[in-house]
Amino acid sequence: MRFHIHTYGCQMNVRDSEAVSAMLTAAGHVRAAGEEDADLVIVNSCTVRQKAEEKALGKCGNLCAAKGRPQIVGLMGCAVKRLGADIFKKLPKLDFAVGPRRFGLIPKIVADLQAQGYPTSRTGANRLELPDEDEIPEGLSAHADAPVDGGADAFKSYVTILLGCDNRCSYCIVPDVRGHEYSRPAREVIAEVAALAARGVKEVCLLGQSVLRYGVRNKAWFEEDPTLQYSESFPRLLAALNEIDGLERIRFTSAHPKGCTDELVRTFRECRKVCRHIHLPVQSGSDRILKEMGRHYTRAEYLAAVAKLRAFDPSFAVTTDVIVGYPGETEEDFEATRSLMEEAGFDNAFIFKYSPRPGTRAAALPDDVPTAEKERRDQVLLADQERRGVRRNQTLIGTVREVLVEGPSLRNRARWSGRETGNRIVVFEPSVPVAVGAIVPVRITEAHPQILVGELA
Ligand code: SAH
Ligand code: SF4
């Protein structure tokens, strides 16, 4: 069959979709050019905020409602786990629904449906697969064998290292839908990355909800080696990946501020391939709100972590997530967030308006910040960040950054675009021929809020 996957939500969903794509391809199916051209359409859903869930379900609803629908339509991801069997009340014509840690079953489900005559005749009942809290999905390490020529996947790959989350921040539904934390064995991750590097991948991004907890809940290293440079599991993993031939860059996301240890900071300094960027969601700058959220750090501890990283490299990129309008957030709490963002000097920030999620601790509190006020706080922080982004980027003017070339710039096809170690986008004129996936030195000449402009050095 020709298949197409629509992906909503975070990088973990992007990665899960890739794995499903690779498994379907291995089973003999082929990627369609788009949904119109597909016999099988899968929507990978997000439920972290109400709006995100509505988008994915809306898309799914439209696909199901199409007249004389020639397609099998399936839903995967976090919304499936949250809604369970109710999903078929909302979407009675949906063919199958598979929760986050069970996506490995999709090729089998598709084969079963085909055997039953789908999509021409719909004979079976709606099929629902809900994973257990501790389930380990099949196909976690599935990647497409032949990456699309010149496409981003030819030189960059996501690798899942940690499943689920045990943090239970008050507002967050992720632990309910993605289950318990589980660290994949280090040997398995190292083998996966080595295989990717052997086939030309230059950069990997290690994924997990809280990657700094790698190896904390369950053992990830099964042999003890006294010669290892680090004692903590995550720095150890980074150091092992740093040795892989052909691999040039290692990134990871997301990081919980509590895990920002001295050893991690040392890893950034000592492992050349580990990129100097951390996505360190702060959520709020008010100690009172941080406590209510159950984040387990204070404003001062957070700022100390940022200072440690910037102490050895002032251009170290720190990006964050912030929630505005958490229940009971006063003007004073909000101003504390504003001033923390200034003190931290974030390179980029994603601002989210609080959205109550059923079953979370915060959902029991009144959602008392009016929508218009959430919107205002959102806009204030975005405007601050825009100014701060330019200011941070201006400090790089005149310096030479190593840029991994990604392809022609989207806005101006005569220019090329890539990323430097801090994940900042760098656009430059290709004065000599450059290849996608190459690393080239670029001298920075202009700073904008979201991009740097430069010339080949
Ligand atoms: N595991 C990651 C975050 C995953 S969710 C981490 O802890 O770093 C991504 C972001 O969505 C969070 O950082 C938070 O800012 C936001 N978010 C989560 N739940 C939310 C909610 N109920 N309302 C608004 N934003 C939320
Ligand atoms: Fe959600 Fe907190 Fe876990 Fe992140 S660390 S996924 S915000 S519970």
What spacing in Å lies between the alpha carbon of 48 and ligand 2's midpoint?
Answer: 10
What is the structure's pLDDT at 412? 85
Per-residue pLDDT reduced to its tens digit, 300-319: 999 999 999 999 999 999 99
Q: What is the DSSP string of 220-249?
A: ---S--TT-S-SSHHHHHHHHHHT-TT--E
Stretch 103-114: mean pLDDT, rounded? 97
Q: What is the DSSP string of 305-342?
A: HHHHHHHH-TT-EEEEEEEES-TT--HHHHHHHHHHHH
What is the structure's pLDDT at 434? 86
Q: How far apart are CA 215 and CA 129, in angstroms?
A: 28
List the one residue out of 231, 148, 140 whose CA is nearest residue 184: 140
What spacing in Å lies between the alpha carbon of 376 and ligand 1's midpoint?
Answer: 19
Count of CA atoms in the C-beta half-sphere (13 A) of 403: 32
Per-residue pLDDT reduced to its tens digit, 158-181: 999 999 999 999 999 999 999 999
What spacing in Å lies between the alpha carbon of 455 and ligand 1's midpoint?
Answer: 37
Query: In this model, does residue 436 exceed pLDDT 90?
Result: no
Q: How far apart are CA 394 and CA 82, in angstroms?
A: 44
- Domains annotated for the chain, with CATH where assigned, are 2-129 (3.40.50.12160), 146-275 (3.30.750.210), 302-395 (3.30.750.200), 400-456 (2.40.50)
Mutation choice for ligand 2 from 167, 170, 282, 290, CB with most ligand atoms inside 8 A: 167
Are residues 105 and 67 in contact, defined by beta-carbon separation less than 8 angstroms?
no
What is the structure's pLDDT at 430? 82
Cβ-count burial 280-295 (b if 16+ within 10 Å, e if not): bbbbbbbbebbebbeb
Stretch 345-356: mean pLDDT, rounded? 98
Written as one letter, the residue type at 226 is P
Per-residue pLDDT reduced to its tens digit, 135-158: 999 999 999 876 655 555 679 999
Ligand 1 atom, smallest distance to 255 CA: 8
What spacing in Å lies between the alpha carbon of 436 and ligand 1's midpoint?
Answer: 33
Per-residue pLDDT reduced to its tens digit, 369-428: 999 999 999 999 999 999 999 999 999 999 999 999 998 888 888 899 999 999 999 999
Are residues 207 and 12 in contact, defined by beta-carbon separation less than 8 angstroms?
yes
What is the structure's pLDDT at 148? 55
Ligand 2 atom, smallest distance to 283 CA: 7
Query: In this model, does residue 360 exceed pLDDT 90?
Result: yes
Ligand 1 atom, smallest distance to 210 CA: 1
CA-nearest residue for atom 12, ligand 1, is: 321
pTM of the prediction?
A: 0.96
What spacing in Å lies between the alpha carbon of 168 and ligand 2's midpoint?
Answer: 6
Ligand 1 atom, smallest distance to 360 CA: 22
Query: In this model, does residue 362 exceed pLDDT 70?
Result: yes
What spacing in Å lies between the alpha carbon of 200 and ligand 2's midpoint?
Answer: 33
Q: C-alpha dihedral over 212, 216, 218, 224, to 10 degrees?
A: 100
In this structure, how many other beta carbons lie within 10 angstroms of the beta carbon of residue 71?
A: 22
Ligand 2 atom, smallest distance to 254 CA: 4
What is the structure's pLDDT at 151? 57
What is the structure's pLDDT at 414? 87
Mutation choice for ligand 1 from 10, 161, 172, CB with most ligand atoms inside 8 A: 172
Stretch 27-40: mean pLDDT, rounded? 93
Q: How far apart are CA 374 and CA 37, in angstroms?
A: 41
What is the structure's pLDDT at 129? 97
CA-nearest residue for atom 18, ligand 1, is: 172
List the one residue out of 12, 431, 6 whose CA is nearest residue 208: 12
What spacing in Å lies between the alpha carbon of 170 and ligand 2's midpoint?
Answer: 9
What is the structure's pLDDT at 433? 82
More confident residue, 3 or 410: 3
What is the structure's pLDDT at 398? 97
Residues in the ligand 1 pocket, defined by CB under 6 Å: 48-49, 171-172, 174, 209-210, 254, 256, 281, 283, 321, 323, 352, 354-355, 357
Give the lowest-confidence range in 12-26, 212-226, 334-348, 393-407. Answer: 212-226
Stretch 85-99: mean pLDDT, rounded? 95
CA-nearest residue for atom 4, ligand 2, is: 209
Nearest-ligand number for the alpha carbon of 10: 1
- Element (H or E) spanning 31, and its range? strand 30-31
Q: How far apart are CA 60 and CA 375, in angstroms?
A: 28
Cβ-count burial 15-24 (b if 16+ within 10 Å, e if not): bbbbbbbbbb
Ligand 2 atom, smallest distance to 172 CA: 1
* Confidence category of residue 212, pLDDT binned at 50, 70, 90: very high
Ligand 2 atom, smallest distance to 48 CA: 1
What is the structure's pLDDT at 152? 54
The rounded mean pLDDT for the chain is 94
Ligand 1 atom, smallest distance to 208 CA: 1
What spacing in Å lies between the alpha carbon of 43 and ligand 2's midpoint?
Answer: 23
β-bridge pairing 425-429 and 416-419: antiparallel
What spacing in Å lies between the alpha carbon of 154 and ligand 1's midpoint?
Answer: 30
What is the structure's pLDDT at 111? 97
Ligand 1 atom, smallest distance to 173 CA: 19
What spacing in Å lies between the alpha carbon of 295 and ligand 2's midpoint?
Answer: 9
Residues in the ligand 2 pocket, defined by CB under 6 Å: 165, 167-169, 172, 174-175, 209-210, 256
What is the structure's pLDDT at 57? 97
What spacing in Å lies between the alpha carbon of 118 and ligand 1's midpoint?
Answer: 38
Q: How far apart are CA 198 and CA 234, in angstroms?
A: 23
Query: In this model, does residue 73 exceed pLDDT 70?
Result: yes
CA-nearest residue for atom 1, ligand 2, is: 172
Per-residue pLDDT reduced to its tens digit, 266-299: 999 999 999 999 999 999 999 999 999 999 999 9
What is the structure's pLDDT at 149? 55
CA-nearest residue for atom 19, ligand 1, is: 172
Are residues 255 and 282 in contact, defined by beta-carbon separation less than 8 angstroms?
no
